Amino acid sequence: MTPYAQPPRPLALYGPEFAADPQSHYRRLRRHGPLAPVRLAPGIDALLVTDYQAAVDLLRDTHTFTKDPRAWQATVPEDSPVLPMLGYRPTALFSDGDVHARYRDAINDSLALIEPHVLRAEVARVAQRLIGEFAATGNGDLIAQYARRLPLHVFVTWFGVEPGDAERIVNGIAGMFNSAENAATAYADLVEVVTALVADRRARPRRDLTSYLLGHPANLDNDETVRQITLIMSAGHDPTTNLIGNALLHMLTDARYAGSLHGGAMTAYEAIDEVLWQDPPLANLSAHYPRHDTEFHGVRLRAGQLLLVSYAAANTRSTHGPSDLAVRSGASAHLAWSAGPHRCPAKQPALLIAMTAIEQLTSQLCDAELAVPVGELKWRPGPFHRALVRLPVRFTPVDMSAEAHRLRAAGDAADGAPAVSNGP
């Protein structure tokens, strides 16, 4: 067995220092073996899996590990800021076996209603409308004005959320991922919005995913439906926002794009793929707990102990990356979508949204460049995500007023029509 040095104390994965340079933290952790102790918030420790093979083994081992956090949760203060992300709810994310299969079937069948060509057309329409709102100014923040608003519109449309509740959805999800003092309040507000939506659709079904989930053969009750929806929203909105933002930053700063978003040699797909390898928007998650005392990759584990997978660290390891053929057996061999029975069910819609969003923006603002030095960009704190605070750019102003007016009119007519094939 390789003799690894034992760290003197858990390494903090929260605060501005980690947010600014997570890869240096991962390099330090790798010196202590495939699993190393980390601190997610004051008083909340875990073991972080930083080795690719160990991560794959953990994600696939349903015999040794459970996804149910309740034994661990009993040892954590009720007001811990990580509980909105890690605390138990009756969802596919926190269940095993037949219970997991029941929830997962409802989610998979619902997402299958989203027709790719309809989704692409809807994303393109909304993208053009959003770009038109700032294109004439010659500058913009691609996070606040674009990457955050575009997935939001998709989720509002899919689930039939009232437009007035959209910001509450975004703020609730962001608060969860930030895992700061207001995390529990943010999650509670998200649940409140979705609870009201589910109650309304139970009484008055429509052609949206909320109504479909309520009518699914899994026979979900109202609370189970609320929890699956908040899971889909939280797993879909913030990571997709971050994927768009991180890929745009990659295109703006990588010399292979020839200094031009539109005219470079690399494509949006390649930029997204590289980000999923090197800077995945969901960096550390996949909580698992040993069912009993055991040894895993040379590390003794206690029953109920919290383990997280670092997709970001496992993808890159210490010397490996996208070009490492020993790890990268195919284009999808990275762990950004997780692996095993809890692999992300929304991979294809998320990729389609991100690629369409980037293609639409780069076709309109083809000479965009960063408006500040890259070293001045700020990253949102929190142990779970890799997320820019802002992405300020400047570009040659583009007059899209006539097109924007047409798209606004089309949007007013189309708002509320879900991008799904059919519903109950």
321 has pLDDT over 50:
no
146 vs 123: CA distance, rounded Å: 12
Residue 154: name the closest of 228, 240, 222 by CA. Answer: 240
232 vs 234: CA distance, rounded Å: 6
- 361-379 pLDDT per residue, tens: 999 998 999 999 999 999 9
φ, ψ of residue 14 in degrees (nearest 5): -140, 165
CA angle 307, 59, 352 (to 5 degrees): 115
| Confidence band of 412 (pLDDT split at 50, 70, 90) | low
Q: Token pair for residue 29?
A: 């952790």
- CA dihedral over 401, 133, 241, 378, signed as positive or negative: positive
| Confidence band of 258 (pLDDT split at 50, 70, 90) | low
In a 13 Å sphere around the CA of 19, the CA atoms on its Cβ side amount to: 17
Q: Which residue has the higher pLDDT, 330 or 225?
A: 225
411 has pLDDT over 60:
no
- 329-344 pLDDT per residue, tens: 344 489 999 999 999 9
pTM: 0.89
- 194-207 pLDDT per residue, tens: 999 999 999 999 99
185 has pLDDT over 50:
yes
Domain ranges of the chain: 11-404
Q: pLDDT value at position 1? A: 46
The CATH homologous superfamily of the domain defined by 11-404: Cytochrome P450 (1.10.630.10)
Kindly state the average pLDDT of the residues 293-310.
97
- 54-93 pLDDT per residue, tens: 999 999 999 999 999 999 999 999 999 999 999 999 999 9
Mark residue 420 as left, alpha or beta (left: phi above 0; alpha: psi -120 to 50; beta: remaining).
beta
- 134-166 pLDDT per residue, tens: 999 999 999 999 999 999 998 889 999 998 898
